[in-house]
Amino acid sequence: MASVPSQLQVGWLRQRLSTIWRSLAAIRHPARSLTGKLMAFVLLTTATALLVAGTSLLATDLYQDRRAWSEQLQSGADILAFATAPALSFDDRTAAQRTLAALERQPAIHAAAIYDARGLPIAVYRRGAAAPPPAQVPVLSPGLHFSGTQGELLQPVIQGGERLGSVYLRGQYEATGRVVTYLNVLAVVMFAGLVAAMLTAGWLQRAITQPMESIAHVARQIVERRTYALRAGKTTHDEFALVVDAFNNMLGEVQLRTQALEQSNQALKEAAAVRQAAELAMLASERLYRAIGESINYGVWVCDAAGRNTYASESFLALTGLTLEAYCYPGWIEVVHPEDRAAVRAAWRECVRSGSAWYHEHRIRDVHGQYHFILAQGVPIRDEQGHIERWAGIHLDIGRLKQTEQALREADRRKDEFLATLAHELRNPLAPIRNAVFILNSPNANDTQRQRARDVIDRQVRHMSLLLDDLLDVSRVTRGQFLLKKEYVDLKAVCDMAIETARPLIQAKNHRLNVTLPPVPVTVEADPLRLAQVISNLLTNAAKYTDAQGHIDLEVVLGDAELTLAVRDDGIGLSSESIPRLFTMFSQVDSSIDRAQGGLGIGLALVKGLVELHGGTITVSSPG
């Protein structure tokens, strides 16, 4: 009695395995089998649903895990920033190193460093053979940054509103183990789901697709053997039996018309093939040449043997606003710059006469009235006897090339002016220094003369030192390596410092300086030395370009959310052409040495850089 359930179970299992095997056999040829399509549809739907669900769960789990890892790293950075603030304040490298040593219990962190305000490390840490932290504070915005599975975090250390330094952490987010485990579970679930889907598809195959397989078998034979004498057999007496009868009747009707249609179809196919081949060849050739022409800046052009225009690309016509008819007559010469027309006409006539290649630069007017530099190139097309049939060429946009050429010439001119002025600036102090040295070496010089010589050397050396300091400062500002030493200072004290610096030149030219400050004391957060340098440079520049006994105004206006500082003078003024480049390196309003007093044209460039480092802006205006 105990063997009966066991035999039933074995039989059921064999039946299910047989169903699965038949289903697998049908899937091997899904394109030729309705059963295969049904099985493939069921399996693909099931597999897709399982993959989408599994992938979504895996992505969500990894996102939450990575977010938790990021928050843990951020918390560690916050704790390190708080713990290392005293060490940074007192430059205690030992304490900072002890703080980093606690990271040994954090296996996810591979490297760390504490940098001072200058960006130099005072303590570093790395785990095992991991790469060390950067030798200088990396150029990163505060916060966590990922590159693949590696995360870098830069946390500023701020105490009392002052940035003492930075904390840098680098860790490796490992999710391989979690992904492998998850994929193993997903594989088991997918296998079980696919087995269930195959059993379900097997039942559907027996109930639905078997009646259709007889029709499919006959249809396959008709396709392969090209005969309509075959008929499908009935396997059921339900609705599918009506489909089989209709299919057989259709085969009979088709068989009668096939022979008549085959002859006419063959003739039509041959005629259509010839016509289609000719059309495709003609359309393909037209598209090819049109695409080549439109890919060039301003397209292609064609002329007849006498040099008269016959064609231009749409790109050129759209640029100039001409129609093809207007381009051909009176011709494209109408959009050439008036100053270039005579030379273009003469060059083109000579080209047509000699039959040589066409190569000419000129300007053309666009539809908005603006002129563009173009390079027109072309070659003659000759027949077998060597006679010119027509001309073909292209228009190239060389506007950027011309702008670059002009910019290079301007830069070269400014470089020459700067070198000449720099040589003048360096040569001027050397003459009095050489004379002073001669006096010091003279045995007949008395003490008063020797002291005066030393004063001359000291004054001229300080002048050269200030000149070189300005050059170094503007270079640092340009390269982004200038660091401000901000503090809370009284604005009036800064203005007094600047006025004191500029006073010798103002008094030497008998200028009248009028200073207007807010009625209440104003405290600003700034680098006092550099802010005073900005104001003194503006005052000195005004004094240089203002004639003797002129007027200079320094006014400070306190607004609701900003502070405005203005320097005005009644000097020579500025032309509209010089204003856009006033704050660029080596720019001078007047290149004459006596007017500019030997300046290198870097003062205002330095002013602009220092103002922008303080978070401000600078503008200039002049009636002319």
At residue 280, what are phi and psi to the nearest 5 degrees? -65, -40
Tell me, what DSSP letter sits at residue 428?
H
The highest-confidence range among 73-87, 476-490, 514-528, by mean pLDDT, is 514-528
pLDDT of residue 591 exceeding 50: no
Q: Between helices 34-89 and 210-225, what is the axis angle to 10°?
A: 100
Choose between 339 and 173: higher pLDDT. Answer: 339
pLDDT of residue 284 exceeding 70: no
Q: Which of 110-119, 199-208, 226-235, 505-514 has the lowest mean pLDDT?
A: 199-208
pLDDT of residue 592 exceeding 50: no
3-state secondary structure of 562: coil
Residue 525 to residue 46: CA distance in whole angstroms: 67
Q: Between helices 3-27 and 176-204, what is the axis angle to 10°?
A: 100
pLDDT of residue 24 exceeding 70: no
Integer-rounded Cα Rg, in Å, for the chain is 44
Residue 382 to residue 390: CA distance in whole angstroms: 7
The model's confidence at residue 423, banded by pLDDT at 50, 70 and 90, is low
For 209, the token pair is: 């697709």
Count of beta carbons in the 10 Å neighbourhood of residue 541: 22
* DSSP calls for 241-264: HHHHHHHHHHHHHHHHHHHHHHHH
Residue 74 to residue 76: CA distance in whole angstroms: 5
At residue 145, what are phi and psi to the nearest 5 degrees? -130, 130
For 533, the token pair is: 């340098």
The type of residue at 366 is: D
Give the DSSP H or E segment for 169: strand 162-172
Question: Could you tell me which of 295, 294, 325, 296 has the C-alpha nearest to residue 310?
Answer: 325
* DSSP calls for 294-309: HHSTT-EEEEETTS-E
**Placement of tokens 């073909």 in the chain:** 392
> Going by DSSP bridges, is the β-strand pair 551-558/512-516 parallel, antiparallel, or unpaired?
parallel
Q: What is the mean pLDDT of the chain?
A: 77
In this prediction, residue 287 carries a pLDDT of: 63
Over residues 70-82, mean pLDDT: 80
Over residues 376-400, mean pLDDT: 87
In this prediction, residue 343 carries a pLDDT of: 92
Q: What is the 3-state secondary structure (H, E, C) of 446-510?
A: CHHHHHHHHHHHHHHHHHHHHHHHHHHHHHHHHHCCCCCCCEEEEHHHHHHHHHHHHHHHHHHCC
At residue 310, what are phi and psi to the nearest 5 degrees? -125, -20
Question: Could you tell me which of 193, 28, 160, 171 has the C-alpha nearest to residue 85?
Answer: 160
Residue 250 to residue 265: CA distance in whole angstroms: 20
For 596, the token pair is: 């500019």
Residue 318 to residue 37: CA distance in whole angstroms: 55
In this prediction, residue 443 carries a pLDDT of: 85
In this prediction, residue 147 carries a pLDDT of: 79
pLDDT of residue 534 exceeding 60: yes
pLDDT per position as a tens digit, 485-502:
889 999 898 898 888 888
Task: Please say whether the beta carbons of 137 and 115 come within 8 A.
Answer: yes
Q: Is the peptide bond before 5 cis (omega within 30 degrees of 0)?
A: no
Task: Please say whether the beta carbons of 307 and 348 come within 8 A.
Answer: yes
3-state secondary structure of 354: helix
pLDDT of residue 465 exceeding 50: yes
Give the start-end residues of each E strand in 67-142: 109-116, 121-126
pLDDT per position as a tens digit, 198-245:
666 666 665 566 666 666 677 777 777 767 666 666 666 666 666 666
Residue 436 to residue 423: CA distance in whole angstroms: 20
Q: CA triplet 552, 555, 557: central angle to 5 degrees?
A: 165
CA distances from 20 to 26, 46, 194 (A): 10, 16, 10
Q: What is the 3-state secondary structure (H, E, C) of 184-201?
A: HHHHHHHHHHHHHHHHHH
Burial per residue of 40-79, b for 16 or more beta-carbon CB atoms within 10 angstroms, e otherwise: bebbeebeeebeeebeeebeeeeeeeeeebbeebbebbee
The type of residue at 533 is: Q
In what order do the strands lie in the sheet containing 300-304? 309-312, 300-304, 388-397, 371-382, 358-365
In this prediction, residue 66 carries a pLDDT of: 76
Estimate to the nearest angstrom the gap between the alpha carbon of 167 and the chain centroid: 29
Question: Could you tell me which of 178, 169, 144 has the C-alpha nearest to residue 64?
Answer: 178
pLDDT of residue 289 exceeding 70: no
Q: CA triplet 133, 136, 139: central angle to 5 degrees?
A: 95
Tell me, what DSSP letter sits at residue 387?
-
pLDDT of residue 340 exceeding 90: yes
Question: Could you tell me which of 553, 565, 582, 554 has the C-alpha nearest to residue 524?
Answer: 565
Give the DSSP H or E segment for 360: strand 358-365
Question: Could you tell me which of 562, 603, 565 has the C-alpha nearest to residue 582?
Answer: 603
In this prediction, residue 190 carries a pLDDT of: 74
Residue 161 to residue 85: CA distance in whole angstroms: 12
3-state secondary structure of 233: coil
Count of beta carbons in the 10 Å neighbourhood of residue 197: 21
Choose between 563 and 230: higher pLDDT. Answer: 563
In this prediction, residue 7 carries a pLDDT of: 61
3-state secondary structure of 76: helix
